[in-house]
Chain A
Amino acid sequence: MTDDVLAPAEAAGGTDDVLLRTGGGRMTEPALRLQGMSASYGGRPVLTGVDVEIPAGVLSAVVGPNGAGKSTMVKAALGLVPSVRGTVRWLGQPLRRVRKRVAYVPQSDAVAKDFPITAVQVVEMGRYPHRGWLRRLTPADDDCVAGAMAQVGVADLADRPLDELSGGQRQRVFLARALAQRADLIVLDEPFTAVDARTEKALLEILTRLCREGVSVIAVHHDLREVLDSFDHAVLMAGTVVAAGAPADVLTPEHLETAYGMAPLAAR
């Protein structure tokens, strides 16, 4: 791998970024900070008064019942929802300054079904933010793509059409795209739906390892038990932020009562 060529810090071109990624030092800026954010879909308010800070370098889950605005919060922060108010800072900056450093893995049904594309072509998309949309990829890009596919165990699927892969294999391919982007922050929307248990465990291990290397991960998730067991940080949503912090402090009976109107996590 050609780490020296493709390190995201260099791709982003700022000295601050070098400090962020080298030596595993303390992160100065949170991965995501939202202040007074509200968002609406078709005139109906989905989020109101969201104030939250998700620290960098941790595996963070955004949880809550259906319709709580989990996906909306993430998408709104990424500029994918039309009517949004409030302040959004990714890695301490407005999104437009850090696009190369933020990788997005959308919900599986937000991707065109039956599209004629191969696995490796999907992973190559991860290099486009760096290389631009008109220029050819370089051999260094190709190495980076191959390395990312090997890392998540899909190297042998490179030339397979995406629509012939299982849900688990597809999700590995999309994670490989985020890895190929060498992002400092990976945002995943419901990454484990349509994924088998074995793949879920493998993906979670990869994400955890990335966090140890200093990457920030934010995942919209619905499995509270898994969040409690495997995540470093959680944000509980119900139209606004109910609680945020260490999963054990967030997923308390009182908070869950507020969010779900009942207790979905039975006492162990």
Chain B
Amino acid sequence: MSGTVTGSLQAGPLGGLLESLPLSYPDAVVVVGTAVVGFVAGLLGPLAVLRQRSMFGDAMSHGTLAGVAVAFLLTGAKVPELLLLGAAISATLAAFAMIALERAGRLRSDAAIGVVLSVSLTLGIVLLTGISDSGNAQQSGLDEYLLGQTAGMVERDIVVALAGAGVAVAVVLLGFRLLRSATFDPGFTAVAGVRTWVVDAASTGLLALAVVLGVRTVGAILMVALLVAPVVTARQLTTRLAVLLPLSAVIGAVCGAVGGLVSGRAELPAGPVIVLLATALAVLSVVLAPRRGVIARARAGRLREERGRVAR
């Protein structure tokens, strides 16, 4: 981290915010950047988890690798925005491929996901390996898209992530009821006159947004965990979607910020650290949550039994 080039240390539009944190400037950039990425993943993760399409999100994130590689091959340089654009295009292609295999190919959805996930990961790895063997001096660091990296994160990355977060929050706020109804009861919602394919397309697009923003920090292989784990944690703590979404977003942000900072200091890849943290919280909440936790349920069950015995 300390080796970051001086060019990225110049304070940009977020300088004031970043300097107000009790951290060195590079650490502040990582913490804020990963927090925003985690926030978006936590906010949009429910679109995958509650629709029982977590693996769909996983295949989309594996799909980003090939896009990153192709964008690099076409431009011959590591321009972050262009690499993200490549990631977005190939993630969208992966989503279309899965839908096409399901609809036209009449494959079951788990088979369609399996095919797209393995093909896109293979393609991504073949391309990245080819690039790294090409001896292009520019290529070093492309492999960080596999497991994620926070080193080299600059203020411009935060601005891009904030713009994505703004779009995500706006769509979720405006379309909250629609998203809730269409996810909970698609049949009723369609009969009521909603074109559910529009909702499907919007939520797939939002999922692509979360994946693309997170893929460099968390890595294509582990991105799905940051989409799923905060939702699992939040779901244990609330029974309302209106609470679940912000709660999951905050959990994602905290995991991102803490994990990003720790990984930088310990010189570990960011993805595994963030994901371990998020998963640990999920496991804790599954066991300890006050109402829905394993322990609370066991206790409630025993209480019912005792009451039953007394009644008899």
Binding site for B on A (CB under 8 A): 42-43, 75, 78-80, 95-96, 99, 102, 104-106, 110-112, 114-118, 121-122, 125, 128-129, 133-134, 161, 163-164, 177
A69 to B27, CA, bound (A): 62
A201 to B186 alpha-carbon distance, docked (Å): 28
Q: Which stretch from B83-91, B111-119, B149-157, B236-244 is at the chain A interface?
A: B236-244
Contact residues in A for B241 (Cβ distance below 8 Å): 115-117
Q: B187–A104 contact, CB under 8 A?
A: yes
* A133-B181 in contact (CB<8A): yes
B240/A117 in contact, CB under 8 A: yes
Rounded to whole angstroms, the CA-CA distance of A75 and B190 in the bound complex is: 11
16 A/B residue pairs, CB under 8 Å, sorted by A: A43-B106, A80-B191, A95-B191, A99-B191, A99-B193, A102-B191, A106-B187, A110-B187, A112-B50, A115-B50, A116-B239, A117-B184, A133-B175, A161-B239, A164-B239, A177-B188
A43 to chain B, nearest CB (A): 7
Query: Are B106's CB and A42's CB within 8 A?
Result: yes
Additional 11 contacts, C-beta under 8 A, given A99-B192, A125-B185: A95-B191, A102-B191, A106-B187, A111-B187, A116-B238, A116-B241, A117-B241, A129-B192, A129-B193, A133-B178, A164-B239
List B contacts of A78 (CB < 8 A). Answer: 187, 190-191
Chain B binding surface, main DSSP class: helix
The answer, yes or no, to whether B194 is at the interface (CB within 8 Å) is yes
Chain B residues lying within 8 Å of A164, measured Cβ to Cβ, are: 239
Contacting pair B192 A116 (CB below 8 A): no
Which chain A residue lies CB-closest to B181? A125
In B181-218, which residues have CB < 8 Å from any A CB?
181, 183-188, 190-194
Q: Which of B180, B190, B238, B244 contacts A80 (CB 8 A)?
A: B190
Does chain A have a CB within 8 A of B177? Answer: yes
Contacts of B244 in A (CB 8 A): 116
Task: Tell me how far the C-beta of A132 lies from the nearest C-beta in chain B, rounded to whole angstroms.
Answer: 9
Residues of chain B within 8 A of A112, CB atoms compared: 50-52, 183-185
B177 and A128 contacting across the interface, CB-CB below 8 Å: yes
Q: B28-50 CB contact bits vs A (8 Å, 1 = yes)? A: 00000000000000000000001
Answer yes or no: B174 CB below 8 A from chain A CBs: yes
Task: Report the Cα distance A78→B180, complex, angstroms.
Answer: 21
